[in-house]
Homo-oligomer: A and B are copies of this chain.
Amino acid sequence: MSKDVEQQFRELIKKISNYNEAIGVLAWDLRTGAPKKGVDQRSEVLGTLSSEVFRLSTSQEMKQYIKELRAETVWGSLDDVTQGAVLECEKDLLKLEKIPEKEYSEYVILTAKAESIWAEAKDAADFTLFQPYLEKIVEFNRKYVEWVGYETNKYNTLLDDYEPGLTVDIIDDVFGQLKDEIVPLLKEVTSSSYQPKTDFLFEHFPKENQEKLSIDILKSMQYDFEAGRLDTTVHPFAIGLNPGDVRVTTKYDEKDFRTAVFGTIHEGGHALYEQNIDKKYVGTPLCTGTSMGIHESQSLFWENFVGRNKAFWEKHYDKLKSFSSGQFDRVTLEEFYDGINVAGPSFIRIEADEMTYSLHIILRYELEKALINGELEVKDLPKAWNDKMEELLGIRPSNDAEGVLQDVHWSGGSFGYFPSYALGYVYAAQLKSAMDKDIPHFEQLLSEGNLTPIKEWLTEKVHKHGKSKKPLQILKDVTSEGVNAKHLIQYLKTKYHSVYKL
């Protein structure tokens, strides 16, 4: 009996997965040059496919299959992939069922519209244009928490969508430690008598050569170009359509080569994760990264622990020089290393260095938590933002565009997402400490340009499991710890004391 149901269930989730892959291709296409006059009609296509995914995920068949497969007599006979997939579908179903369909579809329309309103408001640097939309979005998310239910803190329900297992308690503790250590470290750095030279960062670097360099670096990271491609976009991203098709985009700024080089390494880190998920998960909801935070740990591991490591540039600096227009000719490797690790307060999150980045995230986390718990109202956001920016980074935005309006996330209703970015830093540092035990000659590998053992270690510990292990399970299996901020703090202190000769 059960075999039959199991097979029908697998066919249903394969179908859902195929729809999601089509949605992924359409999304990639929209972001890589789809003609603007076709966008409205394309949105309707996306709507049709998304509705179908919703319908299948909450269908009577799905409910029936889950019920039958969860029966004690059947459960034990299922393979681990099916078990994991059933649990994933059950979790989704329990949430989706509780959302009133009418309010949900109104919300979908609202957020679809809100992104362009946000963009207009940002261009005008005027929060009040976006405010009425954001109020409705926050209102929906507050209601969502009530519908779905919550434990201890309302924000936990939203966190669970992006970082299952993480709670406000854990994050308050971790982010508290980061704040306590990074805020003073930032002061040390900004007041250091030594400040890295940076003028060479901003000289003309031809786009074609940046592209060649990006491809070279992706190849050395073991990114598989037969299972991916590199394109250019305004907002770089990586997208896993299936493990054989994981695409990376980047952006070439001829006045700052770092955008492309570190952006490509970052997205390449995301892509390695998706390319190396065990094929047995294809066609199930387990065939993706397990959480936004673990995903970000992979991109940040490559961007910072590899790409901003001096040993990496011992191998790659000559190549960089040969591709450049000569701006590095009189810059030593040490000066170059210090220059690409310059740190300091700045307004814009996506331009922040690896030391201050977490502070930008903590700011958003604290505001989101207060909003969802009803302790802050949308109309008061701009002032709250600026106050917190001053408290954490010591600077105050002069307008909403460089403050509260800078990120797209809230216009799409992505509350609970931001913490993943800082958790990614914390996880990456924890993984690095664990890797040090298995690969003590890490820096030597970088200086030899042999990144294969590093990629293989990450595949073995993280990538191959897809979504079959939850974030905390991965941490436990790999580091024998829970979330622990100390590794990141120690890394940042050591690194920035060295860069700033403190």
Whether B35 pairs with A18 at a CB distance below 8 angstroms is: no
Say which residue of B41, B47, B245 sits within 8 Å of A242 (CB atoms): B41
Convert A220-240 into 0s and 1s, putting 1 for each residue whose CB lies closer than 8 angstroms to a CB of B: 000011111100000000000
Contacts of A25 in B (CB 8 A): 25-26, 29, 42, 45
Whether A40 pairs with B229 at a CB distance below 8 angstroms is: no
A282 an interface residue at 8 Å Cβ cutoff? yes
Convert A241-253 into 0s and 1s, putting 1 for each residue whose CB lies closer than 8 angstroms to a CB of B: 1111111000000
- Assembly of this chain: how many copies? 2
Q: How far is the CA of A33 from the CA of B225 in the complex (A)?
A: 11
Say which residue of B21, B48, B227 sits within 8 Å of A35 (CB atoms): B227
Contacts of A29 in B (CB 8 A): 25, 29
Contacts of A44 in B (CB 8 A): 14, 18
A370 an interface residue at 8 Å Cβ cutoff? no
Q: How far is the CA of A42 from the CA of B41 in the complex (A)?
A: 23
Contacts of A94 in B (CB 8 A): none
Nearest-neighbour CB distance to chain B for A112, whole angstroms, equals 13
Whether A245 pairs with B41 at a CB distance below 8 angstroms is: yes
Q: How far is the CA of A259 from the CA of B37 in the complex (A)?
A: 29
Q: How far is the CA of A289 from the CA of B383 in the complex (A)?
A: 53
Q: How far is the CA of A26 from the CA of B217 in the complex (A)?
A: 29
Whether B229 pairs with A35 at a CB distance below 8 angstroms is: yes
Whether A45 pairs with B18 at a CB distance below 8 angstroms is: yes
Name the CB-closest residue of B to A26: B25
A15 an interface residue at 8 Å Cβ cutoff? yes
Say which residue of B18, B38, B246 sits within 8 Å of A48 (CB atoms): B18
Say which residue of B45, B49, B52, B244 sits within 8 Å of A38 (CB atoms): B244
A376 an interface residue at 8 Å Cβ cutoff? no
A170 an interface residue at 8 Å Cβ cutoff? no
Say which residue of B19, B39, B242 sits within 8 Å of A42 (CB atoms): B242
**Chain A interfacial positions (CB closer than 8 Å to B):** 14-15, 18-19, 21-22, 25-26, 29, 33-42, 44-45, 47-49, 52, 224-229, 241-247, 282
12 contacts between A and B (CB under 8 A): A19-B48, A19-B49, A21-B42, A22-B22, A36-B244, A37-B243, A37-B245, A38-B243, A38-B245, A40-B244, A42-B245, A52-B52
